[in-house]
Amino acid sequence: MNTGFDPVAQDFLNVALPKGRLGERVYAMLAQAGYPCPELLDPKRKLIFENPEAKVRYFWVKPSDVPAYVERGAADVGVAGKDILLEYAPSVYELLDLNIGKCRMCVAALEGFRDDPDRRLRVATEFPRIARSYYSAQSRDIDVVRLHGSIEIAPILGLTDVIVDIVETGTTLRENGLRPYETIVEISARLIANKVSYKFKHEAIQALFEGLREQVAQKEAAQ
Protein backbone atom coordinates (compact mmCIF):
# COMPACT_ATOMS: atom_id res chain seq x y z
CA MET A 1 0.00 0.00 0.00
CA ASN A 2 1.30 3.46 -0.85
CA THR A 3 0.89 5.61 2.26
CA GLY A 4 2.36 8.64 0.47
CA PHE A 5 5.07 8.91 3.15
CA ASP A 6 8.78 8.67 2.70
CA PRO A 7 9.85 7.30 6.09
CA VAL A 8 13.50 8.11 5.51
CA ALA A 9 12.98 11.75 4.48
CA GLN A 10 15.79 13.28 6.51
CA ASP A 11 14.37 16.74 6.87
CA PHE A 12 11.30 15.56 8.81
CA LEU A 13 11.29 15.03 12.53
CA ASN A 14 9.64 11.68 13.33
CA VAL A 15 7.68 11.81 16.57
CA ALA A 16 6.26 8.73 18.34
CA LEU A 17 3.20 9.63 20.40
CA PRO A 18 1.62 7.29 22.97
CA LYS A 19 -1.87 6.41 21.79
CA GLY A 20 -4.59 7.50 24.22
CA ARG A 21 -5.44 10.39 26.51
CA LEU A 22 -1.83 11.19 27.40
CA GLY A 23 -0.85 11.30 23.73
CA GLU A 24 -3.68 13.72 22.99
CA ARG A 25 -2.47 16.03 25.76
CA VAL A 26 1.07 15.83 24.40
CA TYR A 27 -0.18 16.63 20.92
CA ALA A 28 -2.04 19.69 22.27
CA MET A 29 1.28 20.94 23.69
CA LEU A 30 3.08 20.24 20.40
CA ALA A 31 0.38 22.04 18.40
CA GLN A 32 0.73 25.07 20.71
CA ALA A 33 4.49 24.87 20.31
CA GLY A 34 4.18 25.30 16.52
CA TYR A 35 3.86 21.68 15.37
CA PRO A 36 0.15 21.35 14.56
CA CYS A 37 -1.34 18.51 12.56
CA PRO A 38 -5.12 18.60 13.19
CA GLU A 39 -5.68 15.48 11.09
CA LEU A 40 -4.05 13.59 13.95
CA LEU A 41 -7.20 13.80 16.06
CA ASP A 42 -9.39 12.44 13.28
CA PRO A 43 -11.05 9.34 14.78
CA LYS A 44 -10.27 7.23 11.68
CA ARG A 45 -7.75 4.46 12.11
CA LYS A 46 -4.83 6.11 10.35
CA LEU A 47 -1.63 5.97 12.42
CA ILE A 48 0.86 8.22 10.58
CA PHE A 49 0.39 11.93 9.94
CA GLU A 50 2.60 14.73 8.72
CA ASN A 51 2.74 18.46 8.49
CA PRO A 52 5.18 19.35 5.68
CA GLU A 53 5.34 23.02 6.70
CA ALA A 54 6.36 22.22 10.27
CA LYS A 55 8.49 19.34 8.92
CA VAL A 56 7.06 16.95 11.45
CA ARG A 57 5.66 13.44 11.13
CA TYR A 58 3.65 11.86 13.94
CA PHE A 59 2.98 8.17 14.64
CA TRP A 60 0.49 6.86 17.18
CA VAL A 61 1.99 3.84 18.90
CA LYS A 62 1.17 1.74 21.95
CA PRO A 63 2.60 3.63 24.98
CA SER A 64 4.91 0.77 25.96
CA ASP A 65 6.27 0.61 22.39
CA VAL A 66 7.49 4.24 22.30
CA PRO A 67 10.96 3.34 23.69
CA ALA A 68 11.52 0.72 20.97
CA TYR A 69 10.71 3.18 18.17
CA VAL A 70 12.95 5.87 19.62
CA GLU A 71 15.83 3.63 20.69
CA ARG A 72 16.10 2.12 17.22
CA GLY A 73 15.70 5.44 15.40
CA ALA A 74 12.36 4.74 13.68
CA ALA A 75 11.30 7.84 15.62
CA ASP A 76 13.70 10.70 16.37
CA VAL A 77 11.79 11.70 19.48
CA GLY A 78 8.85 10.39 21.46
CA VAL A 79 6.94 10.73 24.68
CA ALA A 80 6.78 7.99 27.28
CA GLY A 81 5.83 7.76 30.95
CA LYS A 82 8.68 7.42 33.43
CA ASP A 83 7.16 4.03 34.36
CA ILE A 84 7.73 2.76 30.81
CA LEU A 85 11.27 4.20 30.75
CA LEU A 86 12.21 2.56 34.06
CA GLU A 87 10.72 -0.74 32.98
CA TYR A 88 12.22 -0.96 29.48
CA ALA A 89 15.42 1.03 30.23
CA PRO A 90 15.96 2.06 26.59
CA SER A 91 19.25 3.63 25.53
CA VAL A 92 17.82 7.08 24.70
CA TYR A 93 18.25 10.64 25.95
CA GLU A 94 15.59 11.82 28.37
CA LEU A 95 15.24 15.50 27.50
CA LEU A 96 12.32 16.94 29.40
CA ASP A 97 9.75 16.26 32.11
CA LEU A 98 6.46 17.35 30.53
CA ASN A 99 4.81 17.52 33.92
CA ILE A 100 1.66 15.77 32.69
CA GLY A 101 0.41 12.21 33.09
CA LYS A 102 1.34 12.43 36.75
CA CYS A 103 0.80 9.37 38.91
CA ARG A 104 2.89 7.11 41.16
CA MET A 105 4.13 3.54 41.11
CA CYS A 106 2.96 1.90 44.32
CA VAL A 107 2.93 -1.31 46.27
CA ALA A 108 -0.72 -1.98 47.09
CA ALA A 109 -2.47 -4.76 48.93
CA LEU A 110 -5.81 -5.67 50.44
CA GLU A 111 -6.98 -3.44 53.27
CA GLY A 112 -5.59 -4.94 56.50
CA PHE A 113 -2.71 -6.77 54.78
CA ARG A 114 0.16 -7.63 57.16
CA ASP A 115 3.51 -8.34 55.57
CA ASP A 116 5.64 -11.13 56.98
CA PRO A 117 9.22 -10.11 56.07
CA ASP A 118 10.48 -13.66 56.62
CA ARG A 119 8.26 -14.99 53.85
CA ARG A 120 8.89 -14.73 50.13
CA LEU A 121 6.58 -11.96 48.92
CA ARG A 122 4.39 -12.74 45.92
CA VAL A 123 4.03 -9.69 43.67
CA ALA A 124 1.71 -9.25 40.67
CA THR A 125 2.72 -6.53 38.23
CA GLU A 126 3.01 -5.30 34.68
CA PHE A 127 6.39 -3.85 35.72
CA PRO A 128 8.66 -6.76 36.75
CA ARG A 129 11.90 -4.80 36.40
CA ILE A 130 10.66 -1.98 38.63
CA ALA A 131 9.32 -4.44 41.21
CA ARG A 132 12.53 -6.50 41.25
CA SER A 133 14.80 -3.51 41.58
CA TYR A 134 12.66 -2.01 44.36
CA TYR A 135 12.70 -5.20 46.44
CA SER A 136 16.29 -6.15 45.64
CA ALA A 137 17.37 -2.79 47.15
CA GLN A 138 15.73 -4.07 50.35
CA SER A 139 17.31 -7.53 49.93
CA ARG A 140 13.79 -8.92 49.87
CA ASP A 141 13.13 -12.18 48.13
CA ILE A 142 10.09 -11.93 45.83
CA ASP A 143 8.15 -14.11 43.44
CA VAL A 144 6.98 -11.98 40.50
CA VAL A 145 3.80 -12.87 38.61
CA ARG A 146 3.84 -10.87 35.41
CA LEU A 147 0.29 -9.87 34.38
CA HIS A 148 -0.97 -7.69 31.53
CA GLY A 149 -3.95 -5.88 33.08
CA SER A 150 -6.56 -6.01 35.88
CA ILE A 151 -3.68 -6.46 38.33
CA GLU A 152 -5.92 -5.52 41.27
CA ILE A 153 -7.63 -8.91 41.05
CA ALA A 154 -4.46 -10.85 41.96
CA PRO A 155 -4.52 -10.29 45.76
CA ILE A 156 -8.32 -10.63 45.87
CA LEU A 157 -8.09 -14.12 44.43
CA GLY A 158 -4.99 -15.02 46.46
CA LEU A 159 -2.73 -15.20 43.41
CA THR A 160 -0.27 -12.82 45.09
CA ASP A 161 0.20 -10.91 48.36
CA VAL A 162 0.67 -7.48 46.81
CA ILE A 163 0.66 -5.66 43.48
CA VAL A 164 3.08 -3.12 42.06
CA ASP A 165 1.04 -0.82 39.86
CA ILE A 166 0.26 2.72 38.81
CA VAL A 167 -2.00 4.75 41.08
CA GLU A 168 -3.46 7.98 39.82
CA THR A 169 -6.64 8.87 41.73
CA GLY A 170 -6.66 5.70 43.85
CA THR A 171 -10.21 4.90 42.71
CA THR A 172 -9.39 1.52 41.14
CA LEU A 173 -7.71 0.35 44.35
CA ARG A 174 -10.53 1.60 46.58
CA GLU A 175 -13.23 0.05 44.40
CA ASN A 176 -11.49 -3.29 44.83
CA GLY A 177 -10.83 -3.14 48.57
CA LEU A 178 -7.11 -2.44 48.19
CA ARG A 179 -4.96 0.43 49.38
CA PRO A 180 -1.47 1.74 48.57
CA TYR A 181 1.14 0.80 51.18
CA GLU A 182 4.36 2.22 49.73
CA THR A 183 5.25 4.63 46.93
CA ILE A 184 8.09 3.36 44.76
CA VAL A 185 8.48 6.33 42.42
CA GLU A 186 6.60 9.39 41.14
CA ILE A 187 5.73 9.17 37.44
CA SER A 188 5.19 11.76 34.68
CA ALA A 189 5.54 11.93 30.90
CA ARG A 190 9.03 12.53 29.45
CA LEU A 191 10.29 13.69 26.07
CA ILE A 192 12.94 11.25 24.84
CA ALA A 193 15.28 11.35 21.84
CA ASN A 194 17.20 8.86 19.76
CA LYS A 195 20.93 9.29 20.45
CA VAL A 196 21.99 9.41 16.78
CA SER A 197 19.13 11.73 15.77
CA TYR A 198 20.07 14.01 18.64
CA LYS A 199 23.43 14.52 16.95
CA PHE A 200 22.34 14.66 13.30
CA LYS A 201 18.98 16.44 13.68
CA HIS A 202 20.13 18.52 16.60
CA GLU A 203 18.66 21.85 15.48
CA ALA A 204 15.21 20.43 14.78
CA ILE A 205 15.12 18.45 18.04
CA GLN A 206 16.36 21.44 20.00
CA ALA A 207 13.63 23.64 18.48
CA LEU A 208 10.93 21.13 19.42
CA PHE A 209 12.42 20.76 22.91
CA GLU A 210 12.43 24.56 23.40
CA GLY A 211 8.82 24.78 22.20
CA LEU A 212 7.72 22.13 24.66
CA ARG A 213 9.78 23.57 27.50
CA GLU A 214 7.99 26.87 26.94
CA GLN A 215 4.63 25.07 27.15
CA VAL A 216 5.62 23.38 30.42
CA ALA A 217 6.74 26.72 31.87
CA GLN A 218 3.50 28.46 30.83
CA LYS A 219 1.39 25.71 32.39
CA GLU A 220 3.38 25.90 35.62
CA ALA A 221 3.01 29.69 35.75
CA ALA A 222 -0.76 29.36 35.25
CA GLN A 223 -1.14 26.91 38.17
169 lies in the binding site for ligand PRP (CB under 6 A): yes
CA 54, CA 40: separation in Å to the nearest integer? 14
149 lies in the binding site for ligand PRP (CB under 6 A): yes
128 lies in the binding site for ligand PRP (CB under 6 A): no
188 lies in the binding site for ligand PRP (CB under 6 A): no
Residues touching ligand PRP, count (CB under 6 A): 10
64 lies in the binding site for ligand PRP (CB under 6 A): no
Residue of the chain from 2, 10, 139, 171 that contacts ligand PRP (CB under 6 A):
171
CA 152, CA 176: separation in Å to the nearest integer? 7
Q: How far is the CB of 88 from ligand PRP (least distance, A)?
A: 15
Tell me which residue of 24, 62, 16, 22 sits closest to 40, measured CA to CA.
24
- 149 in the Ramachandran plot: left (φ > 0), alpha (ψ -120 to 50) or beta? left
Nearer to ligand PRP, 145 or 166 (CB): 166
172 lies in the binding site for ligand PRP (CB under 6 A): yes
Residue of the chain from 165, 176, 197, 201 that contacts ligand PRP (CB under 6 A):
165
Residue of the chain from 141, 168, 186, 210 that contacts ligand PRP (CB under 6 A):
168
Nearer to ligand PRP, 40 or 151 (CB): 151
Interacting stretch for ligand PRP, rule CB under 6 A, among 129-137, 166-174, 189-197, 207-215?
166-174
167 lies in the binding site for ligand PRP (CB under 6 A): yes
68 lies in the binding site for ligand PRP (CB under 6 A): no
Q: How far is the CB of 184 from ligand PRP (least distance, A)?
A: 14
210 lies in the binding site for ligand PRP (CB under 6 A): no
Helix axis angle, 21-32 to 202-222, nearest 10°: 100
- For ligand PRP, the binding residues (CB under 6 A) are 149, 151, 165-172
